[in-house]
A = this chain, B = another copy of it.
Amino acid sequence: MTKVLHTKLSVKTAADVEVIDVTEMIRNWIRSEGFSDGILTVSSVHTTAGVTINEGESRLMEDIGMHLSKLVPKGAGYLHDKVDNNAHAHIAATLIGSSATLSVVSKSLGLGTWQRVLFVEFDGPRSRTIRCNFVGV
């Protein structure tokens, strides 16, 4: 029988720009629900934070945030800054992507050796929500 499940996870960011490894939270959800095989999406429900898959090495996580801030610098004459002053955070989130699509294979998260699920904050510190959805068996 097809299983369709969803949950929301909470994450608290502590800085303006910050990358947080959320892999274990997702593994806990898989374990607690006991589903076996399928596709799992991990999505930021925000427009100034995204989700990506990469290595969870602490200096690299800092590099990702810093380089994105370089590619999309704060206050570079954006029109939206007249509304909210955070256009850079929206655009950076769009480059990183709002979600990652993963697989679950034999009750395990289908990640490579160095892959981790990373939540990327561009307009913190804030309390943030991650939505996870699973379709499979």
Residues of A that sit less than 8 Å from B by CB? 1-2, 4, 6, 37-39, 41, 43-47, 52-55, 57, 59-60, 62-64, 67, 71-72, 76, 78-80, 82-84, 87, 90-91, 93-103, 105, 110-115, 129, 131, 133, 135-137
Contact = CB atoms under 8 A, between A and B. Distances in A.
Contact of A59 (B38, B79, B110, B136): B79
A103 B54 contact: no
Given A60-B87, A79-B63, A115 B137 contact: no
Nearest to A45: B112
A74 to B, nearest CB: 12
Contacts of A83: 57, 59-60
29 contacts: A2-B137, A4-B37, A6-B37, A6-B110, A38-B133, A38-B135, A43-B101, A46-B114, A47-B53, A47-B54, A47-B55, A47-B112, A52-B98, A53-B99, A54-B93, A57-B84, A60-B90, A62-B79, A63-B79, A63-B80, A63-B87, A67-B72, A67-B76, A94-B96, A98-B100, A103-B133, A110-B133, A112-B129, A135-B135
User: In the complex this chain forms, how many copies of it are found?
Assistant: 3
Contact of A90 (B55, B95, B113): B55
